[in-house]
Structure 1
Amino acid sequence: MADVRVTYDAEADAAYLYFTDPRINVRVARMYPCDPVQVEGMINLDFDETSHLVGIEILSARSKLPAYLLETAEQIGRDGDPG
């Protein structure tokens, strides 16, 4: 089973799920916001220039993701630095 990197900013209540090889620097070429009314929140899908899904941003993550996932996620601050 593949590992997926998950980061979480508790202050912003925002999580990010990465679907890329951590050894490769991938640039997000476009973002597709899901309809916040239909998903009851803000979820953004990020794609690279070849239309591969590279990550998912979840705002109001505590209401969307299981607690164990947020507890085990890499904790980051608002400036993007771990810790």
Structure 2
Amino acid sequence: MHIEYDRENDTAYVCLVAHIADGAAVRQIPVDGVGADAEVFLDVDASGRLLGIEVIGAGGALPVEVLERASKG
């Protein structure tokens, strides 16, 4: 698992597989109930396998410790 955080845009991506090829994520599934200022989307491949998690408004949805350890995106 690898986490990238773009502090300027307050977005994070939690990559659950070693490498996601371009176009592998064919669908984004929105997740409700994460936080008032955050949007979360699950990226899945054609077989329905979860590839990664995109978090917009990551500062309000993820623990500070996670964001501090994330790679800069």
Determine if the TM-score, normalized by the shorter chain, exceeds 0.5.
yes
What is the aligned-residue identity percentage? 34
Q: Between Structure 1 and Structure 2, which shows a larger proportion of strand residues? A: 2
Q: Does 1:34 align with 2:34?
A: no
2:21 maps to what in 1? 25
Q: TM-score, normalised by structure 1?
A: 0.76
Q: C-alpha deviations, 1:51-80, integer Å up to 9, x for none?
A: 00000001111111111111111102xxxx
1:59 maps to what in 2? 56
Q: TM-score, normalised by structure 2?
A: 0.85
Q: Is 2:34–2:61's contact at 8 Å kept on the other side of the alignment?
A: no
Unpaired segments ≥5 residues, structure 2:
none
Q: Does 1:49 align with 2:46?
A: yes
